[in-house]
Structure 1
Amino acid sequence: MHTREPHDPLDLTLVSSHRTSEGVVSYLRCSCGVWEVRTALLVGTATPRGHDRR
């Protein structure tokens, strides 16, 4: 899956999480290489350079 939609939770590995003044921030890595940063209100993705985006 290489879209802006959240990835399958079963393909994600929790790498790190920490509490901020706005809540918990979690950094997850998908088996396809894409990173997701999740908060209570936002999901952001980052695709490695040269990674095939479909």
Structure 2
Amino acid sequence: MSDLVTPFTIVERLDSEAAIQEYLAQVIADGDAEEVIRAQANIQAARSILASDITQ
């Protein structure tokens, strides 16, 4: 039996401002500075996608 691994990108799950805010709150609560930096990039990508969805 082979196990299938589905690629996961957090950006795909950040589909609203509320989701972004919750994600950021969780990352900050964890206290890992490097993860906060990665989260900023993820949030920027998610907001870019959200903005493009609005303009279409």
TM-score (norm 1): 0.22
Larger Rg, first or second structure (1 or 2): 2
Q: Between Structure 1 and Structure 2, which shows a larger proportion of helix residues?
A: 2
Q: Between Structure 1 and Structure 2, which shows a larger proportion of strand residues?
A: 1
